[in-house]
Chains A and B, each alone.
Chain A
Amino acid sequence: MIPTPESEDVLFECIRDFDPGLVCFTSVYSVFHFLAGLAERVKKRHPASVSPWAALMPPCAPRSASPRLSTSCAWARASIPRWNWRTGLESGKSPEGIANLWIKQGDRVERNGARPFLEDLAALPFPDREMWLPWVVNPSSRPSFLAGRGCPFQCTYCCNHALRKVADGKYVRLRSPANIAEEILEMKRVLYLMEDAYLEVETLGVDREWPWNSAPISRRSTISSRYPSGTAPT
């Protein structure tokens, strides 16, 4: 769910009705402090709840983020941690020793190491878009598809140069055109009126052959091509 300063009560109604064992928070830096305050209020009303964080600020600056995060919480350092923490909680165990997570219990912070960046992006399931449906004004709007992860450049206005240091392994990764096409087709089956697909990637220049192999995805699959593909550098 997506609470705003005017709709905090909706979150507490949702917790009451849904009875979650985990309440997971995520935000961009600019609203981190709003959400951290909200998490504190959740913790006060529901002391037994556990709150994992998957925001950008904790992985990049965990020491500055930790004072604002309530007890019994953890935050991911990079990519998706192994979610055996969930199964551990279900059997009544306290979470500990889980790579990719820093875990705060009272004033103590357990700093676990990071797993290497996931090299094969095709190993991931396609992102869950259904979860956003209740919160989107125009569900028929053009969806984005993440065509790769990571960037080799050191631009001063961007966080990629910091994020690449939080784990080992290959940081700049590109998905295969076939894998991207499969995801677009799956989306098209749900949103059959979808006319545009926005392929989002940090850099087109790291592999000069890849964008030209990916551009004519419509001709390499069964996706009908009503509009020409194009690039829009930002």
Chain B
Amino acid sequence: MNVLFVHAEEDYFSSEKPILGYEKMHFGISYVSAVLKQGGTRPGW
């Protein structure tokens, strides 16, 4: 099963590249995605 993650930013840089740098990365879904990958799921983003 494919799993799509959808995140929203309040203060985004642009619609094409909303996040300026890696320090703005959201940890919660990053950990969920990592757990899913361990289980063999194909995450999308």
Contact = CB atoms under 8 A, between A and B. Distances in A.
Nearest to B37: A128
Contacts, number: 161
A54 B6 CA distance: 10
**Which of the four size classes fits the interface of chain B?**
35 or more
Nearest to B15: A7
Given A2-B9, A2-B19, A198-B23, A23 B1 contact: no
A95 to B, nearest CB: 13
Contacts of B17: 135-137
A1 B6 contact: yes
Given A4-B12, A24-B5, A54 B32 contact: yes
Please classify how large the interface on chain A is, using the bins under 10, 10 to 19, 20 to 34, 35 or more.
Answer: 35 or more
B22 to A, nearest CB: 4
Interface in B1-45: 1-10, 12-23, 25-39, 41, 43-45
Given A27-B7, A124-B34, A143 B2 contact: no
Given A3-B8, A26-B28, A125-B35, 15 more contacts: A1-B4, A20-B44, A21-B3, A22-B1, A24-B6, A27-B8, A31-B8, A34-B8, A54-B28, A125-B37, A131-B5, A141-B22, A142-B21, A143-B25, A198-B23
